[in-house]
Amino acid sequence: ERRPPHHRGAQEAFERAEAHLQRGTRDALERAILLDLKASLRRGQRRFEESLKLLQRAIAIFSLYGHHHRAGRSLVNMSVVHHYRGKPEEGIPLLYRSLDLINPEQEPRLLMCARHNLADYLATAGRFTEALKMYRQARPLYRDFTDAWTQNRRRWVKGKIVRGLGQAVQAESLLLAARDGFVAEGIPYDTALVSLGLATLYPEQGRTA
């Protein structure tokens, strides 16, 4: 198997960590944290089934020991794996579960990401009214994080939602703002994705050129 150099280094680091854990405390919670982190590596390697199995094990341990916030975090991670494997709708029930577990005082950004991703996945699934409700619930959290990364994604997801609700003019404005923001951030991949969204919006308005 040929792997990117950073993946090889990460794999070696996890092997060392597992060896230390085996020789050391063998603490179950430390193992669950390791499993959660290792799942992110497997996701990056596009070994999605392995990633999901690791997260399932981590969630089971966290839940057993009453670490509900960490279980919620792993549920969010699991939903992202489904998104990467092209099935974001499978992440929707996981995100709803995570909202009951995440401690907003402990990690408010995690709660914001969970609500944001849920709005995004609902919109992708064509559940626009439900997505709008979730977006509105996330608005106070969006106001707490004014960084460009967050605000560009906020505009992007709202653009998707209002487009699905038939508000093409507002959708175009939001998607253009998100695209320009990604350009300013130097993020070409997200710039391309938003541009594709605009490219499918314009023909609906007869603006084929």
Interval 113-164: pLDDT, tens:
999 999 999 999 999 999 999 999 999 999 999 999 999 999 999 999 999 9
Residue 12 has pLDDT above 90, yes or no: no
**pLDDT tens digits, one per residue of 85-120:** 999 999 999 999 999 999 999 999 999 999 999 999
Contact (CB, 8 A) for 115 and 151: no
pTM: 0.86
Q: Distance of CA 102 to CAs 7, 41, 99, 114, Å? A: 29, 23, 6, 9
